[in-house]
Structure 1
Amino acid sequence: MKIILIRHGMTEGNLKRRYIGTTDEDLINTDCLKGDYPKCERVVVSPLKRCIQTAEFIYPNVDIEICDKLKECDFGDFENKSYEDLKDNPDYQKWLDSNGELPFPNGETHEDFKNRCKDGFFESLTERDTAFVIHGGSIMAIMQKLFGGNFYDYQVKNGCGYEFEMRNGEIVDDYSPIGCS
């Protein structure tokens, strides 16, 4: 089966470079969604509006299934704030110094987030070609689990992602980038 992972389109928070996890923002435009995306038989999304709207734009004729476990990380006290907002916050500096491994104050731990996304991904698999229209962090968590390497190696721009083949829950071939030129 073909697996397609696509990061949602651009939101106001993305444009302003804020940590947007649990904040339920609308898309501000679809300019980054103009690429050719692989065809699929099913679409699985995070329940947040930005993912649903992106899926409806890219795959207007495919039914959407929602998976709560594929939501973006809960950034806790850092939610909806930018680097500029947080640069003098000692908790933020500690988090940066940990390479993002410390838990977000009043939010989710990095490990809990990655495990939740991994579980949501594997629970959503069938033998049908599936597009997952989700969040950047969720994509990074899934890709790291499947392909190894550093979590941050798999960062993607809005509207971009990866495509690969799986059979019986196992990777068949290496991944290819999609959606961005």
Structure 2
Amino acid sequence: MEIYLIRHTTPDVARGICYGQADIDVTDSFHTEASLIKAYLPASIQQVHCSPLQRCRKLAELLFPQALIQYHDALKEINCGDWELKKWDDIDKAEIQPWMEDFVNVCIPNGENYVQLHERCSLLFDQLIQNAPAAIVTHGGVIRSILSHITSTPLKESFNKFSLHYGCVVKITMENSQYAYNIVHNIIPPEVETHKPK
């Protein structure tokens, strides 16, 4: 049983912008990043599941040109609701503070909380593993959530435990009826990602 979790390449968005389900394109480094990713994937994968957002869709289509790619809304990044494409530092402090204190349970206005993302993508993952080997092309929040799911890691600890950069590849296997994961590709970018106010 092998599942490959693949995070999209660098998105074309300015630093300090809040984004989740906004359909952002990728940067000019896309083909270079994708070629590095491809080296870590077996050529035999035919089952491919993907977020419908273009930063994932473009990568899946390039990596698996012969596969029938299935798109799932459950693999989208967290819904940032009213904060989508706003600068983190421009979001009203009184509005964002409850979420900063408990991003797992507090919903983004007109969006989601981390529990809701976790529930939808974990449920789908449990279905998709029935058809392994497979690849899942998705987002950082979704991959962290899946890894939390298979390792029983509390969601509030997932960002510290799972350091996942753009274009990372995580291989999940089953050993003695237990999941195991290995981060096989994970290049640290020159600039740190920003997903909260300064």
Range class of TM-score, shorter chain? 0.7 to 0.9
Which one of the candidate residues 73, 76, 89 is aligned to 1:71?
76
Q: Distance in 1 between matches of 2:64 and 2:80?
A: 29
Q: Tell me the amino acid that sits aligned with residue 186 of structure 2.
A: C
Provide the TM-score with structure 1 as the length reference: 0.86
Match of 1:124 in 2: 128
Please state if 1:133 is matched with 2:137. yes
**Percent sequence identity over aligned pairs:** 28
Which one of the candidate residues 99, 102, 106 is aligned to 2:106?
102
Q: Distance in 1 between matches of 2:163 and 2:135?
A: 18
For residue 126 of structure 1, report the CA deviation from its aligned partner. 2.8
For residue 33 of structure 1, report the CA deviation from its aligned partner. 2.4
CA deviation digits over 1:28-87, x for unaligned, max 9? Answer: 23133232222123211011111110112222232211122111111112211232333x
The answer to whether the 8 Å contact 1:8/1:135 transfers is: yes
Corresponding residue pairs, total: 177
Q: Distance in 1 between matches of 2:130 and 2:101?
A: 40
Provide the TM-score with structure 2 as the length reference: 0.79
Q: Distance in 2 between matches of 1:155 and 1:82?
A: 23
The 3-state SS of whatever aligns with 1:141 is: helix
Deviates more, 1:2-11 or 1:118-127: 118-127
Q: Distance in 1 between matches of 2:16 and 2:151?
A: 27
The answer to whether the 8 Å contact 2:169/2:185 transfers is: yes
Which one of the candidate residues 146, 160, 182 is aligned to 1:176?
182
Q: Distance in 2 between matches of 1:52 and 1:116?
A: 19
For residue 17 of structure 1, report the CA deviation from its aligned partner. 4.0
Give the unaligned 5+ runs of structure 2. 188-198
Q: Distance in 2 between matches of 1:162 and 1:25?
A: 23
Match of 1:34 in 2: 35
The answer to whether the 8 Å contact 1:45/1:64 transfers is: yes
The answer to whether the 8 Å contact 1:70/1:121 transfers is: no
The answer to whether the 8 Å contact 2:22/2:84 transfers is: yes
Match of 1:22 in 2: 21
Q: For 1:83-102, list aligned pairs within 5 A.
A: 83-86=88-91, 88-102=92-106
Aligned-residue CA RMSD in angstroms? 2.2
The answer to whether the 8 Å contact 2:47/2:131 transfers is: no
For residue 97 of structure 1, report the CA deviation from its aligned partner. 2.1
> Structure 1 runs of 4+ off > 4 angstroms?
none
Which one of the candidate residues 9, 31, 52 is aligned to 2:57?
52
